[in-house]
Structure 1
């Protein structure tokens, strides 16, 4: 500063910069407006007569975060105390991979967080850990998921005691970093079509792993390019026969294949590893491609929970058919989908927090001769962000329910729960990750130019999260699984078969939902009626029931000429809409239940407001469907639209409290424009002021 006093030019530059920052700060710092100014804006006339809800953020946060809050805060505090383990904005692929491994080792060996121990003992705690480390760096969350949920989970869930005894400690303490080698160059979602083969050699008591052609190269295998020492390899199990065929295909099984020497880390003979290179995002994860050339492994390396081979080459299984064994194997790997749905909500929480805090902070335009107003006061900004905030809350409770029933399934191994988790995880993973991917772009746009700065995270979050729509099951394929399950239940319903609890609203009320809409209730438009959970759920379920009935009729008609595959393809868009409609019904029902059981009155009132916005916004977005079948009369449609805008305004009034209830510290959100205080001081310092 002494230099600035002595040098007029430097002093002028200093004053100019100071004025710039002061002007910038005045432009952006929130100004508390008088009631008169708010009235003058007349954003919504009803704002004059409805008081803002009083939200106890601490109670709401306690209700939201539950018992695993402490483990997440331990993770946040650890990385905050270790600045050298925080991911910089600009980092090369190789540096990012090295840092990601050091982050994971630090978490396990220094912070004492052992995710693997929770995979079986406390799945809810495991998913909370993965969500927290993903908030630090999404590459770290995925790398941890590969190590513990995929590689480790395959050993625990597909293997038997001998495998757990041999590999558990090494996986837990990171001495055995591993891969999950399922996807191939030509086959991803169609796992039964995998071409890698594992042929049993009875002379040596070994399996021979082979990649028969380039299409069978294992591709996108996390941990393979640099760090992995083992791989769970999915391959067709081939057994020698004494007939003319020579080999018998027993279906896809999983095998533990060492890929690098434990001491030297050199690639083992017969194994070829290549780097998949830079990706759109998640460059801290070392994805690689694997080719096997007559790689021999002991017979014991077959993960034999669902099928085994004896010393003399005889195959045994508790399950009678290839399809049943395959279904059981995939069913045990469903935890990956559960984790992705849960983690995707964590990403949405971060993005909506950044966008909403910025929108409250940033001011632009306003009434003549009045202070500028927060951009979240504009109806257009509320329309972008408030239904998104409501959806974030809805998804939180829906995925928490999914985690709970998954945990119960792991404890009980109940067949009905297994079916429920399989179907619900497919639907929620698809729906939530697709919604989050779109929302990340909306958040970026809602923050204007500042949303484009890498330091404010939207670009990084968007790129890292994008692949959530593809791995652990492509979203379009997963939605078809949901539709197939609904059609199976529909068929059983009308053929007098048993009807499982998975879609019990169809069992209980299918005939009611498929009857003609009541011309009286179709015209009801009172606020009490529209905010009644029964009306909202009935509307969601009516839509699903109609879609299910109509697609069943279409499939039956087209099957006569096109066959089952051709008919399915002809109705595919209809089937996807059905699945999304059903998942929205489940999400709403779980949100309503969460509102009803909330013990704190203040929190319950806030959640009820948010839940109503979620429900009515979804109904309004598909109002054409309801109008086409006269479920909603024109006057009622207008009332729904008006109330949705009003609820958006009301949620805007408590939006700060709602995002604060996510309880994400500034060092987790990281974006300067989302700081709770001195946001723009840090932002300007970031570029060198």
Structure 2
């Protein structure tokens, strides 16, 4: 599965492999880990000559490939790199204008200007429009005054703030001192560049209070801090003014007419973080699956009397744990690859339909993939028994470092609601004769189907050829999504009459989350089927088809109650789906080694002794002193 950017990834691996003092040890203090992460980042940029910031802007696919490689070495390093280039750097470039790029680009690129992305507050995280930090314009001095009005507005969990950051992009409410004719002076949330430490002495600047958020469950190589501002003055030019500007005489101008449109445009430019997390999470799952499957092939336990012990992966229970997960890992690989390609196209074309599509798909994939990976990491640990519990075998650090992926760049529950909102908009568009965005095209085909009764003949078909037919699989996924969409639209309409819009949404919230997950599973399957069909090598195509069928049937079986409730699947067909899923897991087991080897993760990157491709036990025992 070597991608076209494998060369740059090898450059990352080779550099870190040539500098063993930069490899993150199993046991390391928080302070040491933070300094090591900074040295790793400096080494990659200044010694190895890898300049992610340039790719972040010019070639996003190459940037995400670097993040994937770095994350397989140390997730803390990937996050620190993302904070510097994607969040801090990306906010300056995407929300600012030419003057900001000219002033800050080189310093961000060469790490002279280490920076932070100060959006989240103690009291507000996901509800960005509710942020309370204020930036009040002073027309006398031509400055903005940044203030933290109360403890709830303290910027919290800000990466790079506690130790290394020199600047912060601070998201604040822009307040004008004079009211317009409607009496409104709050222009909504805008982004401002605020210096937080002296460039030469690294001393914290006046009016700024910084505290360390301290030891975390994971990612302790990232120096998260809390920031409070007390009448901090910055030049008017420090407003990142792409979507809204203030003139010397205090007049506000914007090409976008409302606060909501400006806010949507601002957040739309920051969607790269979600794309990166979805892709990185899939990469973490590749590492975990590789370790668990290689060890499960190596470890032998029990067996028929007077015969050699069996590999634990030969047990059906173990196949049930790991083979559908391996299939999902492949499914996520193709889906996130598609997302990265779409994001790259969006950055080049600025096509409005594509912008909306990437926003919804990145929200959904980030939520779905990170939630699935978080659960799978525990299953992988369990599948390796006691040896999975040894820190040297990586599951602990992978699980702890990845866990926060479910929360930052948008809490998963909130992101899934964004997907549901988009689906409902598309549903309305369909009945008003509007244009559907690319991702939702299947609604054209299935919108009529869910209004009719399931076909009682096909509901009973249980032959293997039928169940492994991508048309049946895709129809089943789409039918479920379309039915969920129709039924929740009806419920929302009904409840809004008595509960109002917000109350109706809350009453239907679990239904809406299920709808969003169902839709994302449909998109993932579409991308997997396309990857199978476009695979040029017949043998590889057959293997991929096997894995794709397992993914599809396992997901259908996982929600078989829904299909049974609406008679989409008859009892005999449900049994056949379950039986075939188990058989496909058995078949995938026979090529499991080749499937994880195809991830092409070198031993020096995997690092878990139990996953080494040769002399695993010898390497494991050496780690503890034998």
TM-score with structure 2 setting the length = 0.99
**What is the distance in 2 between the residues matched to 1:604 and 1:121?**
33
Shift of the alpha carbon at 1:634?
1.1
CA drift of 1:247 comes to 6.8
User: What corresponds to 1:375 in structure 2?
Assistant: 312
Paired residue for 1:524, among 461, 465, 479?
461
Q: In the alignment, is the contact (CA less than 8 A) between 1:238 and 1:247 conserved in 2?
A: no
Tell me how far apart the structure 1 counterparts of residues 395 and 128 of structure 2 sit (CA, whole Å): 33
Counterpart of 2:579?
Answer: 642
Which residue in 1 is equivalent to 2:480? 543
Secondary structure at the aligned position of 1:291 is classed as: strand
SS at 1:502's partner residue?
Answer: helix
Query: For residue 416 of structure 2, what is the aligned residue in structure 1?
Result: 479
Corresponding residue for residue 321 of structure 1: 258
Return the structure number with greater relative CO, CA threshold 8 A, min gap 6. Answer: 1
Deviations 1:559-609 (A, max 9, x none): 111111111111111110000000000000000001111111121111110
Q: Pick from 216, 225, 230: which aligns with 1:293? A: 230
What pairs with 1:598-637 in structure 2 (closer than 5 Å)? 598-637=535-574
Structure 2 residue 127 is matched with structure 1 residue 190 = yes
Q: Deviation digits for residues 221-275 of structure 1, max 9, x if unmatched? A: 0000000000000000001115799870000000000000000000000000000
Residue 265 in 1 paired to residue 265 in 2? no
Q: Which residue in the other structure is 1:176 paired with?
A: 113
Question: Which deviates more from structure 2 when the two are superposed, residues 519-528 or residues 223-232?
Answer: 519-528
Partner of 2:364: 427
1:131-280 correspondence runs (5 A): 131-241=68-178, 248-280=185-217
Distance (Å, rounded) in 2 between the aligned partners of 1:314 and 1:454:
58
Q: Which position in structure 1 is the counterpart of 2:276?
A: 339
1:113 Cα deviation from its structure 2 partner: 0.6
Match of residue 341, structure 2, among 380, 395, 404: 404
2:443 pairs, out of 506, 510, 516, with 506
Return the alpha-carbon distance in structure 2 between the equivalents of residues 574 and 442 of structure 1. 27
Counterpart position of 1:130: 67
CA distance in 2, matches of 1:509, 1:582: 12
Matched-pair contact (CA < 8 Å) for 1:240–1:246: no
Q: Say which SS state the counterpart of residue 219 (structure 1) adopts.
A: strand
Partner of 1:82: 19
Q: 1:404-441 deviations in whole A, cap 9, x for unaligned? A: 00000000000000000000000000000000000000
1:390 aligned residue (324, 327, 351)? 327
Counterpart of 1:578 in structure 2 is: 515
Cα offset, 1:494, TM superposition: 2.1
Q: Could you say what secondary structure the match of 2:250 adopts?
A: coil
Distance in structure 1 (CA, Å) of the matches to 2:412 and 2:227: 25
Asked whether the equivalents of residues 439 and 523 of structure 2 are also in contact (C-alpha less than 8 Å), the reply is no
Partner-residue secondary structure (3-state), 1:67: coil
1: CA distance, partners of 2:185 / 2:457: 65
**Aligned mates of 1:243, 1:508 — CA distance in 2:** 50
| Residue 527 of structure 1, CA deviation | 0.8
Q: For residue 429 of structure 2, what is the aligned residue in structure 1?
A: 492
Per mean C-alpha deviation after superposition, the further-off stretch among 132-141 and 595-604 is 595-604
1:673–1:680 contact (8 Å) kept in structure 2: yes
Which of 400, 405, 423 is the equivalent residue of 1:463?
400
Unaligned 5+ runs, structure 1: 1-63
Aligned residue for 1:554? Answer: 491
Q: Is 1:658 matched with 2:609? A: no
The residue aligned with 2:532 is: 595
Q: In 1, are the aligned partners of 2:459 and 2:570 still within 8 Å (CA)?
A: yes
Pick the aligned partner of 2:608 from 653, 664, 671. 671
Deviations 1:21-75, CA, capped at 9 Å, x for gaps:
xxxxxxxxxxxxxxxxxxxxxxxxxxxxxxxxxxxxxxxxxxx232111111111
Q: How far did residue 495 of structure 1 move?
A: 3.3
SS of 2:2 mapped into structure 1: helix
Q: Please give the per-residue CA displacement for 1:307-333, whole angstroms capped at 9, x wherever unaligned.
A: 001101111111111100000000000
Give the aligned partner of residue 34 of structure 1: none
**Contact 2:446/2:479 (8 A) holds in 1:** no
Separation in 2 of the partners of 1:676 and 1:79?
Answer: 20
Measure, in 2, the Cα distance between the counterparts of 1:205 and 1:77.
50
Q: Aligned runs of 1:83-98 on 2, under 5 Å?
A: 83-98=20-35
Q: Which has the greater radius of gyration? A: 1
Of the structure 1 ranges 219-228 and 233-242, higher mean CA displacement relative to structure 2 is found in 233-242
2:179–2:185 contact (8 Å) kept in structure 1:
no
2-structure distance, mates of 1:375, 1:609: 22
Q: Distance in 2 between matches of 1:245 and 1:619?
A: 55
Task: Give the counterpart of 2:387 among 425, 430, 450.
Answer: 450
Task: Indicate whether 1:115 and 2:52 are aligned.
Answer: yes
Distance 2:578 2:400 in 1: 34
Contact kept in structure 1, 2:275 and 2:366, CA below 8 Å: yes
Alignment counterpart, residue 306 of structure 1, candidates 236, 239, 243: 243
How many residue pairs match? The answer is 626
Residue pair 1:355, 1:446 contacting (<8 A) in 2 also: yes
Could you tell me how far apart the structure 1 residues matched to 2:306 and 2:583 are?
Answer: 27
Per the alignment, in what secondary structure is the counterpart of residue 454 of structure 2?
Answer: coil
1:491: Cα distance to partner?
1.6
Unaligned runs of at least 5 residues, structure 2: none
Would the aligned equivalents of 2:116 and 2:161 in 1 still touch at CA under 8 Å?
yes
